[in-house]
Copies of this chain bind each other. A is one copy, B any other.
Amino acid sequence: MHTEFASCIKACDECAAACDHCATACLQEADPKPMARCIALDIDCAAICRLASGYMARGSEFARRMCAICAEVCEACGAECAKHQHDHCQECAQACRRCAEECRRMAA
């Protein structure tokens, strides 16, 4: 089943979960102010990852286009997360980078 996209779907789903988790964890930090852009990008990134995942699972004619833009958002989110030393940010940065790579490959 949709084997071509299988590993990218998985990367998107894992990235979405990491972003959602990071957003919540950032909000629970003692001072969430410096995390504002991180939280905003986490929300954006989770949304586009889940959307791209669905397009791939449906074998949509726009699946590759969605992967391309998903990669862009993942790269921005991963770069922002990487700046922060919290575990949830570092884990999210990794998930974003992995997802961006998978999405770039699909979009190519």
Residues in A lying within 8 Å of B, measured CB to CB? 1-2, 9, 13, 16-21, 23-24, 27-28, 30-33, 36, 39-41, 43-44, 46-48, 50-51, 53-55, 57-62, 65-66, 69, 72-73, 76, 88, 91
Cα-based distance from A51 to B17 in the complex (angstroms): 11
Number of copies: 4
Chain B residues with CB under 8 Å of A91's CB are 1
**Shortest distance between the CB of A72 and any CB in chain B (Å):** 7
Q: Is A57 touching B17 in the complex (CB atoms < 8 A)?
A: yes
Q: Is A20 touching B88 in the complex (CB atoms < 8 A)?
A: no
Cα-based distance from A34 to B66 in the complex (angstroms): 26
Chain B residues with CB under 8 Å of A19's CB are 57
| Additional pairs, 17, CB under 8 Å, beyond known A30-B33, A50-B50 | A1-B21, A17-B53, A20-B54, A21-B57, A21-B59, A24-B57, A27-B39, A33-B33, A46-B54, A47-B51, A47-B54, A47-B55, A48-B66, A61-B76, A62-B73, A65-B72, A69-B69
